[in-house]
């Protein structure tokens, strides 16, 4: 507990903004997340100047209300410290935060190259190749064994393609096999199907619900906007099939979210799509298109249009926030889960296995093998397989990022995108200006949600002080 002679200080780079009658406070080097202060607590936080002692702040507060006691103030400042929006004494060691070994392993199983669509921006060269049963079982077996060896506590397996629902019986067999292996290894495991949504019949949706498999469905816009880039081989659009698939998931109560890829073709429809998804209470995530060798048209958009469209979509969410949080899906490669030095798990806690058993660093580099499931230790193969040079490069090593308030939130964005567009890894993302413009907007959305619904574990700091204290 702090004392009345302590001098509280606010963390450097803390973001503060007013949201309705509350104060949003976010410390980018904290794992605590957003903190919302009512106006009395906000008034006290704003009295922190790095020089005043608690007892000095008490004297100022007493000028507005003589009934305020030191014990009340100390309790509130203890809440500030425990929520990591203020500190006394020695500053928190951020190196300790970043030295934590990851305990959650992401796995991308590229089950098949086959697909019933020919999306205009797809990075997969379509063939009839698929992962055979023995190879798939062996991959999952080795991944779980090596994950246990390296002390991972949880594994999320994503089935992808192509269209992995074309191989649904095999996917379900792997789910059953993987659960048994994980149970024996005492590791938590979850499974996600990544699908274009076309094959999501009532029967398949019911099966996925029964098997407790989560789903991520690609939906890039309403009607013609979706149909402009997610098409069948004959050129016809897939929107009406995907919409029906989503209806079947909702009916079967399958846990799912919608994944939206934003390109120059659909950027103007993002607000309308957002309204559509909010109305149906469907969680969603926005992703930015990434260039790849298989795309024959220009799909990268204008940053100004992107920011304008997303701001319009964000306003819709802010005005009517859902009960669930969208904060980690509203801005491509930006995560508020915890401060991080790398934009993704590539080379750290992310394994990608192709249909032929070869391993790659990232699903966007399927043609560049770094090893195979025959390797002695798949986690070691993953750790050695980072394509970033130098391999230990972090956001702190990117010259333009060093002084940025948001560097541990975006971590410089997708490294592959940065290299492909700018020829270097040690510089900021091509989307840097977009991130800076929109990160505060995303924080405001989450604050509004918390104000509306409250905190599940009470991260909102309220006081019983008189309401006469101003914000």
Q: pLDDT tens digits for 110-142?
A: 999 999 999 999 999 888 999 999 999 999 999
Give the Cα-Cα-Cα angle 288, 104, 371 (nearest 5 degrees): 75
Give the domain range for residue 361: 102-386
Are residues 80 and 161 both part of a single domain? no
Query: Would 138 be classed as within a structural domain?
Result: yes
pLDDT in tens, 251-277: 999 999 999 999 999 999 999 999 999
pLDDT in tens, 383-425: 999 999 888 899 999 988 999 999 999 999 999 999 988 999 9
Q: Residues for the chain: how many in total?
A: 471
Predicted TM-score (pTM) of this structure = 0.93
Could you count the other beta carbons within 10 Å of the beta carbon of residue 36?
25
Are residues 69 and 107 both part of a single domain? no
Query: Would 4 be classed as within a structural domain?
Result: no
Strands of 111-255, DSSP E: 154-160, 188-195, 214-218
Are residues 294 and 351 both part of a single domain? yes
Q: What integer is the mean pLDDT of 290-299?
A: 74
Query: Would 160 be classed as within a structural domain?
Result: yes
> Please, which residues have CB within 8 angstroms of residue 282's CB and are 6 or more apart in sequence?
246, 250, 256, 257, 258
Are residues 178 and 260 both part of a single domain? yes
State the CATH number of the domain containing residue 42. Answer: 3.90.930.60
φ/ψ of 427, rounded to 5, equals -130, 170
Are residues 295 and 206 both part of a single domain? yes
Are residues 87 and 145 both part of a single domain? no
Query: Would 424 be classed as within a structural domain?
Result: no
According to the model, what pLDDT value does residue 59 have? 94
Are residues 38 and 134 both part of a single domain? no
According to the model, what pLDDT value does residue 458 have? 43
Are residues 126 and 238 both part of a single domain? yes
Number of separate domains in the chain? 2
Q: What integer is the mean pLDDT of 359-377?
A: 96
Q: What integer is the mean pLDDT of 310-338?
A: 96
Buried b (16+ CB within 10 A) or exposed e, 79-114: bbbebbbbbbeeeeebeebbeeebeebbbbbbbbbb
Element (H, E) at 422: helix 415-422
- Tokens of residue 92, six digits: 């928190």
Strands of 136-268, DSSP E: 154-160, 188-195, 214-218, 256-262
Q: Which of 37, 58, 92 is the last residue of a domain?
A: 92
Question: Whose structure tokens read 């990268």?
Answer: 300
pLDDT in tens, 173-194: 999 999 999 999 999 999 999 9
Strand 284-288 and strand 256-262: pairing? parallel
Are residues 310 and 366 both part of a single domain? yes
Residue 88: which pLDDT band, with cuts at 50, 70 and 90? very high
- Tokens of residue 296, six digits: 């024959």
Query: Would 428 be classed as within a structural domain?
Result: no
State the CATH number of the domain containing residue 249. Answer: 3.20.20.70
Q: Which of 340, 368, 386 is the last residue of a domain?
A: 386
Are residues 265 and 138 both part of a single domain? yes
Q: Which of 73, 92, 111 is the last residue of a domain?
A: 92
Are residues 358 and 244 both part of a single domain? yes
According to the model, what pLDDT value does residue 257 have? 97
Residue 470: which pLDDT band, with cuts at 50, 70 and 90? very low
Query: Would 420 be classed as within a structural domain?
Result: no
Q: Does the pLDDT of residue 462 top 60, yes or no?
A: no
Query: Would 275 be classed as within a structural domain?
Result: yes
According to the model, what pLDDT value does residue 91 have? 80
Are residues 222 and 357 both part of a single domain? yes
Query: Would 401 be classed as within a structural domain?
Result: no
For residue 30, give the nearest of 81, 103, 88, 79 by alpha carbon: 81
């Amino acid at each position: 507990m702090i004392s009345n002679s302590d001098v509280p200080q606010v963390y450097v780079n803390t973001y503060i903004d007013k949201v309705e009658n509350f104060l949003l406070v976010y410390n980018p080097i904290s794992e605590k997340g957003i903190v919302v202060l009512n106006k009395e607590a906000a008034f006290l936080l704003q009295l922190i100047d790095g020089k005043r002692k608690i007892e000095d702040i008490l004297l100022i507060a007493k000028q507005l209300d003589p009934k305020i006691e030191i014990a009340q103030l100390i309790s509130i400042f203890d809440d500030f410290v425990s929520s990591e929006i203020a500190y006394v004494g020695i500053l928190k060691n951020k190196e300790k935060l970043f030295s934590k070994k990851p305990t959650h392993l992401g796995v991308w199983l590229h089950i098949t190259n086959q697909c019933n669509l020919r999306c205009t921006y797809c990075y997969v060269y379509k063939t009839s190749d698929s992962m055979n049963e023995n190879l798939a079982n062996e991959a999952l077996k080795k991944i779980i064994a090596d994950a246990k060896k390296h002390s991972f506590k949880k594994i999320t397996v994503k089935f992808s393609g192509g269209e992995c629902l074309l191989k649904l019986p095999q996917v379900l067999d792997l789910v059953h096999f993987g659960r048994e292996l994980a149970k024996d290894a005492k590791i938590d495991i979850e499974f996600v199907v990544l699908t274009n949504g076309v094959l999501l019949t009532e029967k398949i949706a019911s099966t996925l619900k029964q098997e407790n498999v989560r789903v991520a469905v690609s939906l890039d816009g309403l009607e013609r906007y979706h149909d402009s880039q997610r098409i069948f081989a004959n050129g016809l659009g897939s929107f009406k099939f995907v919409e029906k698939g989503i209806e079947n998931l909702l009916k079967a109560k399958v846990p799912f979210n919608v994944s939206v890829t934003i390109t120059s073709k659909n950027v103007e429809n993002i607000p309308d799509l957002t309204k559509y998804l909010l109305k149906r209470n469907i969680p969603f995530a926005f992703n930015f298109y990434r260039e790849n060798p298989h795309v024959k048209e220009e799909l990268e958009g204008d940053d100004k249009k992107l920011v304008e469209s997303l701001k319009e979509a964000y306003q819709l969410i802010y005005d009517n926030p859902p009960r669930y949080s969208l904060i980690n899906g509203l801005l491509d490669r930006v995560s508020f889960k915890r401060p991080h030095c790398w934009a993704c798990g590539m080379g750290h806690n992310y394994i990608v296995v192709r249909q032929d058993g070869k391993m790659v660093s990232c699903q966007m580099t399927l043609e560049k093998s770094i090893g195979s499931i025959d390797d002695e230790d798949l986690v070691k193969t993953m750790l050695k397989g980072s394509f970033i040079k130098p391999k230990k490069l972090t956001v702190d090593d990117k010259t333009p990022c060093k002084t940025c308030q948001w560097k541990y939130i975006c971590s410089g964005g997708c490294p592959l995108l940065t290299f492909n567009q700018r020829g270097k890894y040690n510089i900021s993302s091509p989307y840097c200006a977009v991130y800076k413009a929109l990160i505060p907007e995303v924080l405001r959305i989450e604050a509004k949600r918390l104000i509306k619904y409250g905190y599940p574990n009470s991260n909102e700091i309220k006081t019983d002080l008189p309401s006469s204290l101003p914000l």
